[in-house]
Structure 1
Amino acid sequence: MSLPEGLGAWAELPFFQDGSLAAIEAKIAEDSRTILPPDHQRYAALELTQPDATRVVILGQDPYPTEGHAHGLAFSAEPHVQPLPRSLYNIYRELRDDIGTAPDTADLRPWAKQGVLLLNTVLSVPEGEANGHKTFGWQALTHQVVTKASEQPTAFVLWGRQAQALEKYITAGDHLILKTAHPSPLSANRGFFGSRPFSKVNDWLTSRGETPIIWA
């Protein structure tokens, strides 16, 4: 099978070479439901943030299972989506408390273009069934991406236990690793609110002589 277009240097990962992708695509083909996000957006996070440009990694779970919402970036949704997805609403609440402002829409592609890799652990979902493809094998890709990203100093933002379980794939280096509760309404009050991850990331970047992220 041919590789998705636009992967750039990510295409060198074993996942895209050893048959892992073909096995997942076969499982997706057998699922007669609407699969989200659309095929052409499935790898948007990797396409928009190449390995050498990755400065921050924020890990999500799987795409939003509502048609028209997911577009391939963790926590992000199409600009027209209102009300905001609940976790993103809480992310923006913390962002306002942290730096005083937040984006006007649900679209986080401006973050990705500044080197913030917004990667879901699972890259596909059947409409209406969150975690519906969690057993398909996507995690192998996430593990490899995290390891690749950690070849250079990177800020890893690990919200919740599922993301924190991937810390073991971060190779040793001069990284910033932030771990708190997930921004979901079920857990945000257990340590996500008040954690100030956005200013901490920018303080770390600035200390390294790098340009801070424009979060809004």
Structure 2
Amino acid sequence: MSDEPALFDISAGGLNPGPPVPFTSGSSLYELMTPDWADALAPETATIHRIGDELQRRISSGTQVLPPPASILRAFTLPLKKVKVLIIGQDPYPTPGHAVGLSFSVGPSVRPLPRSLVNIYKELRDDLGIEPAPHGDLSAWTDQGVLLLNRALSVDAGQANSHRNLGWESVTDLAVRALAARRQPDGSPMPLVAILWGRQAQALAPLLDRAPRIESAHPSPLSASRGFFGSRPFSRANELLKQQDASPIDWRLPGVR
């Protein structure tokens, strides 16, 4: 979500660099994600290790990498077979303390909420009448099968889009292809709805095969008024799930009455 500016500047070496990266060369993906995702992403194992080595080099030199290294691959702890809705973000929030490894989500105690997330909550209220949650933790959506996946999975603190060319795109491309390729026992596609906000997310449309897609402008304050507001992605996603004989998502979050 590179539309979100950092709230303050980070200078190299100015902060404790934090814990080591868990997916450097020699590590096993099976210890970091579900087995079905590890199998699906196996062709990009070398890329993931190379990125891990580069992130470790940056951290060792004093750069703060976000989200915390142990959370960078968090999206892949939702089993591949359980994904029903895919929401693609751009890259993690660059403000320290915000990124948690799930696109658009933040930790329960983060205040104020990122502006993109505020706009998502506004659209959720207008679409389904669900009042905004008092927090920005979207993990309840993940628990129901919503994959919150960023295009790039890491970022230098204070530097949006700083990891855009590290190689994450080939990993997330493969993840999207794996979702679209899933099949039920009868050979039909497994239920999937892709919500693509903004041009970077929409660039993945060709990889989704015939999976239903909901496309609109990004919820960033810079673009939300140009087609995100009024796009009704939540109700439309549920209708598309029902058409595929899949249960809808309960988009309410804990703490909302």
SS at 2:149's partner residue? Answer: strand
* 1:4-52 CA distance string (max 9 Å, x none): 42411111134565411121112112213011111111111111x2111
Q: 2: distance between equivalents of 1:203 and 1:209?
A: 10
Choose the corresponding residue for 1:161, options 199, 217, 224. Answer: 199
Q: Please list every run of 5 or more consecutive structure 2 residues that lacks an aligned counterpart in the other structure.
A: 1-25, 182-189, 253-257
SS at 1:150's partner residue? Answer: helix
Contact 1:62 1:123 in 2 (8 A): yes
- Using the size of structure 1 for normalisation, the TM-score is 0.94
Match of 1:61 in 2: 90
- Using the size of structure 2 for normalisation, the TM-score is 0.79
Could you tell which deviates more after superposition, 16-25 or 134-143?
16-25
* 1:63-93 CA distance string (max 9 Å, x none): 1111111110000000111111011110000
Question: What is the one-letter code of the residue matched to 2:37?
Answer: W
Does 2:117 match 1:80?
no
Q: 1: distance between equivalents of 2:43 and 2:153?
A: 14
Q: 2: distance between equivalents of 1:208 and 1:103?
A: 29
Q: 1: distance between equivalents of 2:92 and 2:192?
A: 24
Identity %: 46
Q: Any residues of structure 2 matched to 1:100-139 within 5 Å, and which?
A: 100-101=129-130, 102-139=132-169
Match of 1:70 in 2: 99
Does 2:219 match 1:183?
yes
Structure 1 residues 208, 169: closer, same or farther in 2, change over 3 A? closer
Instruction: Return the offset for 1:103.
Output: 2.9
Could you tell which deviates more after superposition, 128-137 or 25-34?
25-34
How many matched pairs?
213
Contact 2:191 2:241 in 1 (8 A): no
Q: 2: distance between equivalents of 1:79 and 1:133?
A: 25
Instruction: Return the offset for 1:169.
Output: 1.2
Instruction: Return the offset for 1:134.
Output: 0.8
Contact 1:15 1:141 in 2 (8 A): no
Structure number with bigger Rg: 2
SS at 2:87's partner residue? Answer: strand
Does 2:28 match 1:28?
no
SS at 2:204's partner residue? Answer: helix
Question: What is the one-letter code of the residue matched to 1:78?
Answer: G
